[in-house]
Amino acid sequence: MALSSLPSGLIRAICSSVPVRRFDNLSETTAFDPAEVDKVVKMAGVRTRHIAPGNICSSDLCVAAARRVLEKLQWAPNSIDALIFVTQSPDYLLPSTSCLAHRDLELSDHCAAFDVGLGCSGYPYALWLATMMLSGGGLKRVLVLHGETPSRFADRSDRAVALLFGDAGSATALEANPAKEASTWGFNLHTDGNGWKDLIIEGGGFRDRMPEDTRKLCVAMNGANVFNFTIKRVPSLVEETLRSFATPQESIDYFVLHQSNLFIMKHLAKKMQIPEVKLPYTIQRFGSTGGPSIPLTITQGGLTRPANRPLKMMLVGYGVGLSWGSALVDLGPEAILDHVEVG
Amino acid sequence: MTEAEAIKWFADLFGLPASSLSAKTTRTEIPTWDSLGVLTLMAALDETFNLVVDDATMRSLQGVGDVLELLRKNGKLA
C-alpha cells in the first residue's frame, strides 16, 4: 500500500503560470452551435481558458513560474539540488523537459533533474518524491515544475473536450525542514492500469509512431468510465487519507482537487459531504489544465490564509493512467503564492 | 420508489413535465438526453440510488422503460 507519512518539508513558494491569450468559450467559439456551447459551459463550468500559442510549451510556462519563484525567494540557481518536471505534454519526446528547464534556469551541473510522466495525479506524486528527497538527507532545495498544454492535444471537432482544456504551468519551491521535531506530511497514492485506455493519445509514441488517422494524435476519453472512476475512487481516497493519518475532516482548511469538470467536482463535494467553502474552484477561469490545476488553484482559488498558523490542505489528483493520489500538506503563513502570465 | 415517482424523478432531471413521459418514451424523443444528459443521469443514479453504472449499461439505456428496468433489477423500484 503506497501510504507514507514523511517528515514535512517546507513549501517556500508556489507560482502558477498561464499563457496570456485568454479564450472566452461563450463569445469566441465558432465551431459549435451557441446553444450547445452554452450547455457545455454550464455543465463543465469552463467559461474562459488560457491557450498557449505554438511557440509556448510546458517548459516555457514552468520556467517563467520558476524564475519568479527564484527571484522572490532570492534563491541562487546553483542552490537548487533537484528539479522534478511533471508533464504529459513534453516539449520533445527526448530529451526530458527537466533538462530544458535546467538549461533555461541556469541550474548547476550538481543538480539532479528528471521528468515524471504523470498527468492529473502528478502533483501529489511529485510532492511525495520531493519530500522523500528532502527528508532522506543531503538535498536542501527541490523545485517541482508541473506544466501541461492540453489544448494542443484536444480534438477541436469534439465539443466534449474542445471547450474544456486550458494550458498552465507551475513551480513549487520546497526546502528541507530544519526543525528537529518537524511535523509530518501524508501521501496516499494509487494506480489502476486496467483503465489505461480510458484517457489516451494512441498515436505519436513508439507503438504507433505516425498514425494514418491523425485523430489518434488527440486525446480520446471514455467519459462514462472516467466519470465512474472519479466517483468511485476520489471519495474513498479522501476518506482513506483522513483515516490513515488520523486527521479529522474539520481540521482541513481546503481540499484542493484537480479541476476536471465543475459538474463532477460538485457531485464529488456532495458525495464526500465536504462544505463548498473548503473546495476552491478555478476551472471557470482556466479550464481543465490537468495536474497543474492543483497549484493553480492554490494560487488563484481565493484561499484565505491565517496569519498565525499553517494552512492545512489535502491535495487530490486523479485521472489518466488511471492514477490517483492525495497529499496532506501544510503551507506556512510565510510561503509566497504568485501567478504570472506568459507570452 | 414507485414507477410514477421514478418517472417524475427522471422528468425533473431532464427538465421535462412528468406528464410528457411514460415507460414507452424513447431516448430519441428526449432532446436533452444527449452525451451531457448521460453524464447527468449517471450522477443522479449514483446520488439518488447509489448505483454506479458502467459504460456498456449506459449505452444500453434507450428509453425511460430501460431506466425503470435498471432500477427494478437493482431493487430500487417497488
Distance, in Å, from the CA atom of A281 to the CA atom of A142, rounded to the nearest integer, reads 27
Find out whether B49 and B76 touch, Cβ atoms under 8 Å: yes
What pLDDT sits at residue B30? 92
What's the whole-number average pLDDT of chain B?
91
What pLDDT is attached to residue B35?
A: 74
The ipTM of this complex is 0.74
Minimal Cα distance from A38: which residue of B?
B36
Q: Write out the three cell numbers for A14.
A: 508556489
Q: What is the pLDDT of residue A179?
A: 85
Contact A315, A296 (CB under 8 A): no
Helix axes B3-13, B64-73, angle to 10 degrees: 120
For residue A261, what is the nearest residue in chain B, using CA coordinates?
B39
Which pLDDT score, from 0 to 100, does residue A161 have? 81
Chunked into runs of 10 residues, chain A (343 residues) has average pLDDT values of 92 98 89 82 90 97 98 98 98 97 98 98 98 93 98 84 93 92 92 95 96 93 89 95 96 97 91 93 96 98 95 97 97 97 95
Whether residue B8 is predicted with pLDDT greater than 90 in this model: the reply is: yes
Can you count the helices (H) and strands (E) in chain B?
4, 0
**Nearest neighbour of B58 by CB, restricted to A43, A224, A263:** A224
CB-based contact B35 A160, cutoff 8 Å: yes
Q: Which helix (H) or strand (E) holds A148?
A: none
Query: What is the pLDDT at residue A293?
Result: 98
Q: B18-57 burial, b for 16+ CB within 10 Å, e for fewer? A: eeebeeebebeebeebeebbbbbbbbbbbeebebebebee
B34-45 pLDDT, tens digit each: 877 888 899 899
pLDDT-based confidence at residue B32 (cuts at 50, 70, 90): confident
Q: What is the pLDDT of residue A32?
A: 81
CA triple A117-A123-A124, angle to 5 deg: 110
Strand (E) or helix (H) holding A190: strand A184-191
Q: How far apart are CA A109 and CA A107, in angstroms?
A: 7
Residue B55: its chain A contacts at CB < 8 A?
222, 224-225, 228
DSSP annotation of A288: B
Listing DSSP states for A9-23 in one string gives: -EEEEEEEEEES-EE
pLDDT at A184: 95
* pLDDT > 70 in chain B, percent: 100
Amino acid making up residue A309: R
Q: Do A227 and B36 touch (CB under 8 A)?
A: no
